[in-house]
Amino acid sequence: MSTFEIFAKRSKETRPGPTISKPFAASGINSPRNRMRLPRIGLLGKLIAIHLLGGGMVILLAWQVIGYFGAYYFMRLMDTYGIEPEALHATFLRAIYRSLLITIGLGIGMVTILKVFITRKMMAPLTQMNILARKLAKGDYSERVHVVTQDEIAELGHAFNQMADSLASIESMRRNLVANVAHELRTPLNNLRGQIEALQDRLIIPSPEMINSLHEETLRLVRLVDSLYRLSQIDAGTRVLDDEEFNLQELIFSILLRERPRFDEKKIALKINLFPHPVHADSALIAQVVQNLIENLLRYTPERGEARIDLFGEPSSVKCVLTNSGPGITPEDLPYIFERFYRGEKSRSRQTGGAGIGLAIVKQIVEAHGGAVGAESRPGQTEIWFTLPVPPSSYQ
């Protein structure tokens, strides 16, 4: 082995290779998190930069064109009059470029000021929406975007205001829902608690009437919880609707036959105008709709009052209308009678109404079937109706 080969081998064995110190390797200096962050540029700066870039390209092009054609026409002019162009050519170009620079500087300054003013004016609703969006995220739904234009940004502002109105309405309904559920549960629970504590302290003696009262309060709680559970199922879409054909007239008749003694007890004059109408729907849920509406009819029709149930066909649907005499519903309350726990009578007394979820269940079930609900009222008469879609073959 030669001396050169031995030296090369030793150098390869003893020469230290490139190493990375542990502090740098552990710190991840090349990671995206540790890279130099670019300064944040707002939308206003971006718009101005885009306009300046476009203006700069136009100026550069104009500079080249003027320089080329100016020199061309200047040389032709000098040739025409037999003048030596060398001395005057440079002076001519300097004068043109000086005038062009002054014009460009003034133009850029004026355009920039104008662009800033116009862009700020255009971006004012966007800036306001940004501020209001942060307030919405914190639960403040009181403010709205001030829209003064008629362009796309104005449409965005109107959409933002509609969203804020919807969120405010949902938040109000949520708060009312919690308060109303607490109220509806508190009354029977307090009754149960009072009677059970009286029994524990032996202040009263157990009797059939006492047991029946406790049973009624328990059933009231069960009905309330069952109604809320049905609403949650329909809202979540967890219940699969059965598509079965049945006669809506027969369904209404069967429920009326069961509730007839209650009409007789209040001496309500009931008129029925029903015709056979087959529908395709979930019969158990539609029975719940009819039951709730008849229950509403019984509750709000005064003694010796009048009630009427009509069933008739419409193009591609069947409509059921329940009418009762009575004081009617005020125009302020009418749009909200299908909302959950809504009652026009604010004291929520059991003597003047139910829990306020019967009509909400009606609306949810009917709309889940593709139908619609509605109500009309005037002094002395109230109408509540619902429709269900009917296949075209049912009219053939």
Residue with tokens 């604010």: 346
Question: What span, in angstroms and rounded, lies between the C-alpha atoms of 23 and 43?
Answer: 39
Distance CA 359, CA 361 (A): 5
- Rounded CA separation 319/92 (Å): 91
Phi–psi pair at 343, nearest 5 degrees: -140, 135
Q: How many CB atoms lie within 10 A of CB 203?
A: 9
CATH number given to 244-395: 3.30.565.10
- Specify the DSSP class assigned to residue 370: T
Residues 6+ away with beta carbon under 8 Å from 342: 333, 336, 356, 360
pLDDT at position 137: 85
Residue 231 one-letter amino acid = L
pLDDT digits (tens, 9 = 90+) for 191-203: 788 888 888 888 8
DSSP label at residue 394: G
**385 — pLDDT class (breaks 50, 70, 90):** very high
* Cα–Cα nearest to 334, from 293, 373, 289: 373
Domains in the chain: boundaries: 43-140, 153-236, 244-395
Q: 237: pLDDT confidence band, cut at 50, 70 and 90?
A: low
Q: What is the pLDDT of residue 396?
A: 47
- Strand, coil or helix: what is 282? coil
Mean pLDDT taken over the chain: 76
CB 376 within 8 A of CB 383: yes
153-236 placed in CATH 1.10.287.130: yes
Residues 394 and 91: their CA atoms lie apart, in Å, by: 96
Rounded to an integer, the average pLDDT of 317-332 is: 90
| Range from 50-54, 84-88, 233-237, 299-303 that averages highest in pLDDT | 299-303
Per-residue model confidence as pLDDT tens digits over 28-40: 444 444 444 545 5
- State the Cα–Cα distance between residues 391 and 389, nearest whole angstrom: 7
For residue 123, the model assigns a pLDDT of 75
Q: Can you tell me the distance from the alpha carbon of 283 to that of 285, in angstroms, rounded to the nearest whole number?
A: 6
* Res 297 pLDDT > 80: yes
Task: Please write the tens of the pLDDT for every residue from 141-197.
Answer: 888 888 777 777 778 888 888 888 888 877 776 776 666 677 667 777 887 888 888
Joined tokens for residue 154: 């104005």
CA 32/CA 132 separation, integer angstroms: 32
Helix orientation angle between 43-81 and 85-137, rounded to the nearest 10 degrees: 170
pLDDT of 153: 76
